[in-house]
Amino acid sequence: MNLHTLLLERFKAAIVAIGAPADSPAPLSRSTRPEFGEYQFNGAMALAKVLRQKPRDIAQKIVDAVELSDVAQKLEIAGPGFINIHLSADWMARQLENAATDPRLGVDTESQQTVVVDYSSPNLAKEMHVGHLRSTIIGDAVAKAIEFMGHKVIRQNHMGDWGTQFGMLLAHLNDKLAANQVAETALSDLEDFYREAKVRFDNEEGFADRAREYVVKLQSGDEQCMGLWQQFIDVSVAHSEEVYEKLNVSLGREHIMGESAYNDDLANVLNALKEQQIVVEDQGAQVVFLEELADKEGNPAAYIMQKSGGGYLYSTTDQAAIRYRCGQLGADRTLIFTDARQALHFKQTEIVARKAGFIADEQTYEHCPFGMMLGKDGKPFKTRSGATVKLADLLDEAVERAETLISKRDSDWSEEEKKDIARKVGIGAVKYSDLSKNRTTDYIFDWDTMLSFEGNTAPYLQYAYTRAKKVLSNGNVDANTLKSSIALEEPQEKLLAVKLLQYVESINQVTSEATPHVMCTYIYELASIFSTFYEACPILKEDVPEQAKQSRLMLTALTARTLKSAMDLLGIETMEKM
Ligand code: ARG
């Protein structure tokens, strides 16, 4: 059951009943203060103009017409014509009792769509660095939320495994293997390897020419060269997989659909564009001129599909990818997570693909950009020496820092338990501090804030979860099987009830806008409200009547399960004690 949708539908019916057009705006929002009820309908003011009546009169007519006797305890008109909705405590209690016996917590699935999610997609020529953190974890959280709503998610890891830089890398690898090295050792540090190759490319006589020969050989499918390439890719993919494992993300080998996978299709895609005269020759290159993205002087933007030497580009591959995803995979939606600097590329890519009919009108292509991760100095996040930070190193540091933190606490945990908790806290902190920020802006990476047990952080939420679980175990009940009736008497109980019922609203927002921070805000609020409830409403104290005790245990169980479910979707691990 989606509370917001349910209320909205009832109000829409009421609007029609009082003679307003069915498509009239129907703004329904959450109330900002409990005395205004839980939701507020603000449509009367706009309708007043259309129906030429006073807003308050319209509001009264809506109140008379809307069928909410089951859901609301009272409706109130305030100010110029706001309608405050006070939900019925009984009705909320019944909804929560249903949610308590439902493994999906009362969240209905939606009609199934096929959704392609393109995320992580690192460049295999180099080691995964902090820039890939955002794409990987934001994409993963959104993919999981969409899946939870019942859709078919097809993960596509569009790895950068092709292109001219591989000429230089393969020439260097060839020499290392000739000198009796094995690929795994030679490539144990991809950053060093890349740097060495680049130094040779810039300085060593003849090396650049050999690198270029390798590019040609690679493109023509030369066997020896393909063998080297495969070795390189295998080692680099294994590096990425280590990072995925550390990060607890749901990407596996089966989701890899790298750039090279489209090689055989690039000529076909170009031909299709030529046939439709979308692409034209310009100084030997094949170019699409986009009038819709012209600059101030009126010069159309140039989207190059093939270079004058015959080489294909990132954009050609993306055209092939769209055609495959929308055609063969049948994607209703395609979501792509990259940093904001690629926004123009994806805008152009979509326009061209729509012209070519690679994507149909009803199919969406949603570039989901994100900002940069900055250091405390407000500049792009770097190591002290100014080098890019390897993601694997960053994650190891997170676990180490969490270990130090945990070891300071009094506990009877075994070494193994401590290690496990430290891993979950450290990785959780890095992920959560990123996920909880609105993705479109840059954010400052700060160890101290993210590892704090106070505020909107992973440790705070993981702790809140263990606290709820502790109450349940002290009360000898199992969160998943507890079944009794709920009565909402105290204001803190009602506040908690409303928040629990809003879980689905936050998932819906995450799936439609690709914004996991909405879910983070939600669980932070839920945890804070739970904490207030816990202070105000004793649960296991002796003088608490049995009925209230059972009801409060039910609310606690629902809170624990909701926190866990939400953190699962975000990819944040929880533990039973902390
Ligand atoms: N490999 C690219 C990068 O590291 C991201 C690829 C995103 N997906 C795509 N279909 N272009 O920037």
pLDDT digits (tens, 9 = 90+) for 60-70: 999 999 999 99
Q: Is the CB of 338 under 6 A from ligand 1?
A: yes
How much of the chain, in percent, has pLDDT values that exceed 70?
100
Of all protein residues, the one whose alpha carbon is nearest to atom 6 of ligand 1 is: 121
Give the nearest ligand 1 atom to 118 CA: 8
Report the distance separating Cα 493 and Cα 532, nearest Å: 9
Q: Read off the pLDDT of residues 338-365 as tens digits, 9 standing for 90 and up.
A: 999 999 999 999 999 999 999 999 999 9
Please report the pLDDT score of residue 332 as a whole number: 98
Q: Is the CB of 318 under 6 A from ligand 1?
A: yes
Please report the pLDDT score of residue 148 as a whole number: 98
- Work out the average pLDDT over 206-225: 94
Return all residues near 494 (Cβ < 8 A) that are at least 6 apart.
34, 89, 92, 488
Which band of pLDDT confidence, cut at 50, 70 and 90, is reported for residue 18? very high
pLDDT at 483 over 90: no
Determine the residue type at 236.
S
Please report the pLDDT score of residue 441 as a whole number: 92
Of all protein residues, the one whose alpha carbon is nearest to atom 8 of ligand 1 is: 158
Cα(214) to centroid of ligand 1, in Å?
A: 23
Instruction: Please choose, from the candidates 399, 427, 393, 119, the residue with its C-alpha nearest in 3D space to the C-alpha of residue 248.
Output: 427
- Work out the average pLDDT over 4-30: 95
Which band of pLDDT confidence, cut at 50, 70 and 90, is reported for residue 479? confident
Of all protein residues, the one whose alpha carbon is nearest to atom 5 of ligand 1 is: 121
- Work out the average pLDDT over 453-467: 97
Instruction: Please choose, from the candidates 38, 28, 100, the residue with its C-alpha nearest in 3D space to the C-alpha of residue 72.
Output: 38
pLDDT at 1 over 90: no
- Work out the average pLDDT over 4-33: 95
Which band of pLDDT confidence, cut at 50, 70 and 90, is reported for residue 385? confident
How much of the chain, in percent, has pLDDT values that exceed 90?
93
Cα(128) to centroid of ligand 1, in Å?
A: 13
Structure tokens at 382: 């770097």
pLDDT at 144 over 90: yes
Cα(119) to centroid of ligand 1, in Å?
A: 8
- Work out the average pLDDT over 418-436: 97
Please report the pLDDT score of residue 386 as a whole number: 85
Please report the pLDDT score of residue 408 as a whole number: 86
pLDDT at 411 over 90: no
Please report the pLDDT score of residue 410 as a whole number: 79
Backbone angles phi, psi at 551, to 5 degrees: -60, -45
- Work out the average pLDDT over 411-434: 95
Please report the pLDDT score of residue 50 as a whole number: 87
Q: Is the CB of 118 under 6 A from ligand 1?
A: yes
Give the nearest ligand 1 atom to 314 CA: 11
Pocket probe for ligand 1: among 342, 370, 388, the residue whose CB has the most ligand atoms within 8 Å is 342
Q: Residue 484: in which H helix or E strand, if any? A: none
Give the nearest ligand 1 atom to 321 CA: 10
Please report the pLDDT score of residue 412 as a whole number: 87
Please report the pLDDT score of residue 577 as a whole number: 86
Please report the pLDDT score of residue 329 as a whole number: 98
Please report the pLDDT score of residue 481 as a whole number: 84
Instruction: Identify the burial level of 289 via C-beta atoms within 10 angstroms of its C-beta, where 0-12 means exposed, 13-18 middle and 19 or more buried.
Output: middle
Q: Is the CB of 553 under 6 A from ligand 1?
A: no
Cα(122) to centroid of ligand 1, in Å?
A: 7
Query: What does the chain come to in residues?
Result: 578
pTM: 0.95
pLDDT at 157 over 90: yes
Please report the pLDDT score of residue 142 as a whole number: 98
CB 492 within 8 A of CB 531: no
Structure tokens at 232: 């390189």
Return all residues near 86 (Cβ < 8 A) that are at least 6 apart.
37, 38, 72, 73, 74, 75, 76
Instruction: Please choose, from the candidates 420, 423, 431, 417, the residue with its C-alpha nearest in 3D space to the C-alpha of residue 402.
Output: 423
